[in-house]
Amino acid sequence: MVNASDSSSAAAGPSTPRAFPTPTRGAALPLTFRPRDQVALVVGSNRLAAVRAFSLLEADASVLVTSREPLESAHEELQYRVAAGEVRYIQSNPPDAGAWQAFLDQQEVSLVAVTDTLIGSSRRSNSSAEDIAAAARKLRVPINVSDLPNLSSFTFPSVHRFPGESGPSTLQVAVSTNGHGCRLAGRIRRDIATRLPSSVGAAVENVGKLRARAMSLSLPEEERRDISEDDVEMPLNTPVPQLGASVAGAECVTSDRDAPEAGTSGDVADAAEARLRRMRWVHQMSEYYSYDALSRLTPSTMGEALSTYSITSPPPALLPHHEGSTATTRQQGRIYLVGSGPGHPGLLTVAALHVLRTATLILSDKLVPAEVLALIPKSTTLHIAKKFPGNAEGAQNEMMELALAGAQKGEVVVRLKQGDPFVYGRGGEEVLYFREHGFESTVIPGVSSALAGPLMMGIPVTQRGVAESLILCTGVGRQGRAVQLPGYIKSRTLLVLMGVARIASIVDVLTSATSQGRDGTAYPRQLPIAVVERASSPDQRVVLSTLEHIEEALRSMEERPPGMMVIGWAALALEGKGRVDVLDGADEAQVVQEWLGGEAWKVREGLSDEWNELLGSVEV
User: Which residues form the catalytic set?
Assistant: 365, 386
Specify the 3-state DSSP secondary structure of 328: coil
Instruction: Using alpha carbons, select from 150, 118, 146, 147 the residue that is nearest to residue 134.
Output: 150
Residue 522: phi and psi, rounded to 5, are -70, 155
Run of H or E including 609? helix 609-617
Query: What value, to the nearest 5°, has the Cα angle with vertex 612 and ends 345 and 544?
Result: 95
Residues in the chain: 620
What Rg do the C-alpha atoms of the chain give, in angstroms? 35
Contacts of 172 (CB under 8 A, 6+ apart): 32, 159, 160, 161, 162
Q: What angle do CA 604, 610, 613 make, to 5 degrees?
A: 120
Give DSSP secondary structure letters for 2-63: --HHHHHHHHH--SS---PPPP--S---------TT-EEEEE--SHHHHHHHHHHHHTT-EE
Residue 113: its H or E element: strand 109-114
d(CA 167, CA 169): 6
Residue 11 identity = A
Residue 329: how many CB atoms within 10 A of its CB?
10
Cβ neighbors of 544 (< 8 A, separation 6 or more) are 528, 529, 530, 571, 572, 575, 595, 596, 601, 602, 603, 604
Backbone angles phi, psi at 80, to 5 degrees: -60, -45
DSSP 195-217: HS-TTHHHHHHHHHHHHHHHT-S
How are beta strands 563-567 and 528-533 bridged, if at all? antiparallel
Burial class (CB in 10 A: 0-12, 13-18, 19+), 178: middle
Cβ atoms within 10 Å of 203's Cβ, excluding its own? 25
CA 449 to each of CA 32, 43, 74, 581, 606: distance values in angstroms, whole numbers, following the listed order: 51, 54, 50, 27, 16
For residues 209 and 301, the answer to whether their CB atoms sit within 8 Å is: no
- Helix (H/G/I), strand (E/B), else coil: 312: coil
Torsion of CA 33, 36, 37, 43, to 10 degrees: 40
User: What distance in Å separates the CA atoms of residue 332 and residue 439, rounded to the nearest whole number?
Assistant: 9
| Cα distances (Å, whole numbers) of residue 58 to 42, 159, 194 | 14, 12, 22
CB 454 within 8 A of CB 460: yes
Backbone angles phi, psi at 407, to 5 degrees: -65, -40
* Distance separating alpha carbons of residues 571 and 151, to the nearest angstrom: 62
* 3-class secondary-structure state, position 584: helix
- Residue 419, Cβ density class (10 Å: 0-12 exposed, 13-18 middle, ≥19 buried): buried
